[in-house]
Amino acid sequence: MDDDVTLHGPASWEGSPRRYGPVARVAVLSDIHANIPAFEAVLAEPDVAAADLVVLNGDLTWGPQPQETYELIAALGDRALCVRGNCDRYAAEIGTGVRVADTPRQQWIADRHSPEALGFLTRVPFGVVVEIDGLGPVHFCHGSPRSDHELVTPATPSERFARLSAAIDARVLVTGHSHLQFDRTVAGLRSVNPGSVGQPYHSGGPGTAHWALLGPDVRLRTTRYEVSDAVARAHRAADPDAERYVAALLTPPAPQEIVEEAESLVFVN
Rounded-to-integer distance, Cα 110 and Cα 61, Å? 9
- pLDDT number for residue 3: 64
pLDDT at 2: 54
Q: pLDDT at position 222, please?
A: 98
Domains of the chain, start order: 18-265 (3.60.21.10)
Quote the CA–CA distance of 36 and 225 in Å, as a whole number. Answer: 10
The per-residue pLDDT for 262 is 98
Query: In the prediction, which pLDDT does 4 show?
Result: 83
* Low-confidence spans in the chain with pLDDT less than 50: none
Tell me if 87 sits within 8 A of 96, measured CB to CB.
Answer: no
> pTM of the full predicted structure?
0.97
Any idea how long the chain is? 269
C-alpha 72/C-alpha 79 separation (Å) is 12
Q: Got the DSSP string for 21-89?
A: EEES-EEEEB--TT-HHHHHHHHTSHHHHH-SEEEE-S--S-SS-HHHHHHHHHHTGGGEEE---HHHH
